[in-house]
Copies of this chain bind each other. A is one copy, B any other.
Amino acid sequence: MIRTVPKVSDAHREQRREQILIAAWKCFARNGFHSTSMADVISEAGLSAGAVYLYFRSKEEIILAVAGQVFTGIAGRMAELFEREPPPSPAEVAGFLIEQPVLARAQTPGDLFPLLLAVWAEATRNPILADLADEILGALRQQITRLFERWESTGQDLRIPARDLAPVLVSLVQGFVTQQALVGNPSPETYRQSVVALFDAAGLGPAQPAG
């Protein structure tokens, strides 16, 4: 006569975690990690303290989960670029990355960009996040480097070592995120256009003749 444990278990558990992470995402985007209290997250999630602590051991654990999603979300859309034929030019890669800095959970970039700044700042202090940042940023650079090399292999001239140009391209995205978060401009369209024009002028655009 042993009653079975409630059947909800697994799916329910995942759903609850998601619910909490979405709430935390919103709070962190609004107020950053440190000005957000557990009470804020709990209230936003519409749960109780006891419930939240059943799914996450600590605030730290929630921060790591959210920050991890933000980080990995950035590199997520890269695969698409590898499928293009012919291989995209550096100008195209740059334009793509600026257009789609992240999708992930954010509906509006207004939510995402300040959160990104918070994650970067936190990563300079939290060893676990620092490791993650190292891994993700390394992978992103490597993928960009490979895309450049593929483009070179079609007979184009990069003029700068692919390995060295990749961080420059990453900068263009990070700087855009930073300026958007700080002052709300330039617009993605204007900025993208300027960057693409710069790459075009440098002979790294789509329509450049080989050599």
Closest B-chain residue to A179, C-beta based? B167
Contact B181 A172 (CB under 8 A): no
A124 to B190, CA, bound (A): 22
A164 contacts chain B at the CB level, 8 A cutoff: yes
A202 contacts chain B at the CB level, 8 A cutoff: yes
A93 contacts chain B at the CB level, 8 A cutoff: no
A143 contacts chain B at the CB level, 8 A cutoff: no
Q: How many residues of A contact B (CB 8 A)?
A: 53
Contact (A194, B172) CB under 8 Å given A34-B34, A120-B117: no
A140 to B28, CA, bound (A): 29
A51 to chain B minimum Cβ distance, whole angstroms, is 26
Which residues in B have their C-beta under 8 angstroms from that of A125?
Answer: 31-32, 35, 114
Give a binary string over A105-130; 1 marks a CB under 8 Å from any B CB, 0 the rest.
00000000110011011111100001
Point out the residue from B117, B159, B165, B167 that lies within 8 Å of A117, measured CB to CB. Answer: B117
Point out the residue from B122, B173, B183 that lies within 8 Å of A134, measured CB to CB. Answer: B183
Contact A182 B114 (CB under 8 A): no
Question: Of residues 151 to 173 in A, which have CB atoms within 8 Å of B's CB atoms?
Answer: 159-161, 164-165, 167-168, 170-173
Which residues in B have their C-beta under 8 angstroms from that of A182?
Answer: 120, 123-124, 130, 133-134, 137
A134 to B181, CA, bound (A): 11
Give a binary string over A191-202; 1 marks a CB under 8 Å from any B CB, 0 the rest.
101110111011
Contact (A194, B168) CB under 8 Å given A121-B117, A203-B201: yes
Closest B-chain residue to A35, C-beta based? B125
A126 to chain B minimum Cβ distance, whole angstroms, is 10
12 intermolecular pairs with C-beta atoms under 8 Å apart: A32-B122, A34-B34, A118-B121, A120-B178, A159-B197, A160-B197, A165-B198, A168-B191, A168-B195, A172-B172, A174-B179, A201-B203
